[in-house]
Amino acid sequence: MVAAILAAIVLNNVDRQMLALIKPLLDREFRWSSDSYGRITAAAQLSAALCLPLMGWIVDQVPARRCFAWGVATWSVFTAAQALATGAQSMLVVRVGLTGAEAIGTPAALKVLGALAPARRRALALGLFNMAPSVGAMVGPVLVPMLAWSLGWRWAAILLGGIGFVWVVWWLRVSATTIPATPVAVASRAGGSPLRRPATWLLIAAKGLTDQLWWVFLYWLPVFFHLHGNGTMAWAGSVTGIYVWAALGSLAGALAAVRWPHARGIRAQIWIAACCLGVAGLLLLATQPVRAVSVGACALAIFGHQIVSVLIFSTISDAQYRERTGTIAGIAAFAGNLLAVGSLMLVGRSVAAGAGYVPTLLALALAYVAGGSCLIASRLLSRDGA
């Protein structure tokens, strides 16, 4: 069951990252600019953002088994439909549909893992869940270019869409006896709905502010390394290497979530503050023109980001939020995707204007400091019952 969920998230991120990985081929065929690519990624991110709250609400109302199956089937159709694109406008339409359907992934996965995983193992399950996008980001730069450069990018899109339908069949078999037919009701904690607590909205803000780093890296790291790769495929290895650090960060985050359970101890909050400030500092270091320094800084920044991300997911799946896990996860991911729209547009225009990635990295660093502050405040308020 857990393996099937993790496989879906890996597939989600491979499909999401495909556009960045085949951009060199599309540049030659469609002759679009960095600004056009930035608009496509921003529109796709906006689609995901607008769909996430609805998907989160649906996950709290409809059996997760059905949600997952329909969600993966729908985004697989759009993945394959990329093969029909004839230019920037048609690709934009397909990508908007793809990312909108993919919005089901995070709320559904958190709902199932939070309900199935025993409390003492939930942190590990969430660490593995948070590692799955990193695995997808490692697999994508190897699998997608291999298919696209050998078979053509259109056939690569069709094959990836087909893998999604194989997963649907697998999921319907393994989940038939392990997931309840109807959503499980959870008793509300004294104090009313989690959505009425300030701590919940601070947690949502923390997710939104910190998540921009992930989306900018996902869409633009392959582009950056390809431009500086001297025409070779070495850029794919650089991207994969960075996401190895992201995967390690997810495992470190799982250990941190076990050691620092939700809202306990000032020492934990100090370490979280140090981690967030470290990520911000590394983003500033990544602005350096020395390629080895910037690559190393990006790798360590995403390592720290994954630790923070696991802690946020662990908090969302905590018992006090369980009755609205899907809704809260959807709203939090909505915030991250919506803010990422601005970041993706900023980097596209910045690159097109010749300013490079420096303005975006500076903005991400500031957002991370603000997000870390919101996370710490949320945990402290939860400790006090707010």
Q: For tokens 């360590």, what's the residue?
A: 300
Which residues of the chain are under the pLDDT cut of 70?
A: 114-123, 177-192, 226-237, 259-265, 318-323, 383-386
What is the reported pLDDT for 188? 47
Distances (CA, A) of 244 to 29, 50, 73, 295, 324: 32, 30, 28, 13, 32
Burial 279-308 (b: 16+ CB within 10 A, else e): bbbbbbbbbeeeeeebbbbbbbbbbbbbbb
Distances (CA, A) of 139 to 118, 282, 325: 29, 25, 29
What is the full DSSP assignment across 191-251?
A: TS-GGGSHHHHHHHHHHHHHHHHHHHHHHHHHHHHHHTTTTSTHHHHHHHHHHHHHHHHHH
What is the reported pLDDT for 185? 47
What is the full DSSP assignment across 121-175?
A: HHHHHHHHHHHHHHHHHHHHHHHHHHHHHHH-HHHHHHHHHHHHHHHHHHHHHHT
Tokens of 244: 């190895």
Amino acid at 384: D
Q: Taking the model in full, what pTM does it have?
A: 0.73
Residue (of 335, 345, 331, 338) closest to 371 by Cα position: 335
Residue (of 104, 100, 98, 5) closest to 60 by Cα position: 104
What is the reported pLDDT for 170? 93
Amino acid at 183: P
CB of 153 within 8 A of CB of 22?
yes
What is the reported pLDDT for 150? 92
